[in-house]
Amino acid sequence: MEKIYKIFTINPGSTSTKIALFENDRKVFGVTLDHDASELAGFASLSEQLPYRREKILRALAEQELTLEKTDAFVGRGGGLAPLVSGTYIINDILLKHARECFAGVHPATLGAQLAASFAEEFGGSRYVVNPPDVDEFCELARITGIRGVYRESRIHALNQKEIAIRYASGTGKRYEDLNLIVAHIGGGISVTAHKKGRMIDSNDILNGDGPFAPTRCGSIPVSALLKLDPAEVKPKITKTGGLVDHLGTSDTREVKRRIEAGDKYAKLIYDAMIYQIAKEIGSMAAVLRGEIDAIIFTGGISNDEYLTGELKGYVGFMAPVIVMPGEFEMEALAAGALRVLRGEEPAKEYTGIPVWTGFDL
């Protein structure tokens, strides 16, 4: 008889916390807890939000008459860590310290490890993070820029991208490690990644203004043009107020589509330009893989838009079979990573805090 593992997953966002309870890979409960921005503004740091978010989680579970007793594993999103290889990591002392300090960047995902550790301390069970945003599997050539000492960094929707790639491979009866894939995560941020035999060897940097523009992000910009702008004005456009927000005043692509259907020509121009830039990025990843591509996969929330995926197929369909796997599978990915460890299918990794790449020895 199959052993049933109870797994609790936690994915904090800027104004919400997603939680889900699994029995093996079956979700038995899931909800998104919304947080009032004005309440969060009262906390001086992300880590100070921990008791507030923790209490909201416990209250939501109590309302469903659910308990975290006898939970086998608590799994947080992870973030703020030194660059690391992909996998499921035990939340050890150094990982927890780096999460609290936002060692590699300030992002609500850093609360994932803290919440998982807090619950594990109270209720028992293992504690993990899975494929945090800090996963770095770039090849050396992908890191070089035209300025000595300035390198491209791996900042990808690693959790969802890895899960989608693994699911696709499993569905075709193959191993992820045996395939070459291009995965385009198309959501509030857009990452287009070359997966070569199980490693994400190149992608656009979604946090530092690289790649196609997105609903809230400016993407790549001609460098000389930036020199004419106020840095204080430019910085928020990199991740919060660029892209569709800057052009159209909204990050909601459904609203953009409504405007297009009402005859707004500028909205159509901008939306089509975003699609065009995604296609260009896919083309660059096809070159990285030397044209040896088993499939191109679209995922993320905006991949539900048939107009967008249809246009993209028109641009890139000649390269390889195109697969649409819309939505996000982050909670499932967190549970799956822990489940593989609990079943002994792969070992849990130890976080050392030592970056997998620190520069070239020139």
Query: pLDDT tens digits for 318-360?
Result: 999 999 999 989 999 999 999 999 999 999 999 999 999 988 8
What CA dihedral angle connects 115, 121, 125 and 128, to 10 degrees? Answer: 40
**Fold of the domain built from segment(s) 6-135+330-350:** Nucleotidyltransferase; domain 5 (3.30.420)
Residue with the two structure tokens 């029995």: 23
Specify whether the CB–CB gap between 91 and 113 falls below 8 A.
yes
Higher pLDDT, 105 or 166: 166
pLDDT more than 70, % of the chain: 99
Length of the chain: 362
Q: Helix 253-261 and helix 265-288: axis angle, to 10°?
A: 130
Mean local confidence (pLDDT), 233-260: 94
Residue 362 confidence (pLDDT) above 70: no
Average pLDDT over residues 229-246: 92
159 or 361: which leads in pLDDT: 159
CB 92 within 8 A of CB 78: no
**Per-residue pLDDT tens for 69-116?**
999 999 999 999 999 999 999 999 999 999 999 998 888 899 999 999
Identify residue 145 by its one-letter amino acid code: T
Both structure tokens of 24: 């093996």
Q: Cβ(189)–Cβ(253) under 8 Å?
A: no
Q: How confident is the model at residue 208 (pLDDT cuts 50, 70, 90)?
A: confident
Specify the pLDDT at position 106: 83
The correct CATH number of 157-324 out of 3.30.470.10, 3.75.10.10, 3.30.460.10, 3.30.420.40 is 3.30.420.40
Task: Give the DSSP per-residue string, 75-87.
Answer: EE---SPPPB-SS
Average pLDDT of the chain is 95
Q: Kindly state the tokens that stand for 65.
A: 């008459």
Q: What is the mean pLDDT of residues 37-66?
A: 93
Do 221 and 205 contact (CB within 8 A), yes or no? no
Pick the range with the lowest mean pLDDT from 132-136, 313-317, 357-361: 357-361
Rounded mean pLDDT, 227-232: 90
**Closest by alpha carbon to 78, among 51, 120, 115?**
115
Identify the pLDDT of residue 39.
Answer: 86
Sheet strand arrangement including 199-203: 199-203, 190-196, 180-186, 295-299, 322-324
Q: For the purposes of burial, counting CB atoms within 10 Å of the CB of 277, is it exposed (0-12), middle (13-18) or buried (19 or more)?
A: buried
Residue 43 in this model has a pLDDT that exceeds 70: yes
Is it the case that residue 16 has pLDDT exceeding 70? yes
Query: Taking residues 203-209, what's their average pLDDT?
Result: 91
Residue 152: per-residue pLDDT = 93
pTM of the model: 0.92
Cβ–Cβ < 8 Å for 311, 298: no
pLDDT of residue 159: 94
Residue whose C-alpha is closest to residue 190's, from 112, 122, 71, 279? 279
Backbone torsions φ then ψ of 185, nearest 5 degrees:
-90, 115
Coil/strand/helix, residue 93: helix
Indicate the domain borders of the chain. Answer: 6-135+330-350, 157-324
Report how far residue 327's alpha carbon sits from residue 311's, in angstroms, rounded to the nearest whole number: 18
Question: How many CA atoms within 13 Å lie on the side-chain side of 38?
Answer: 0
Question: What pLDDT score does 36 carry?
Answer: 87
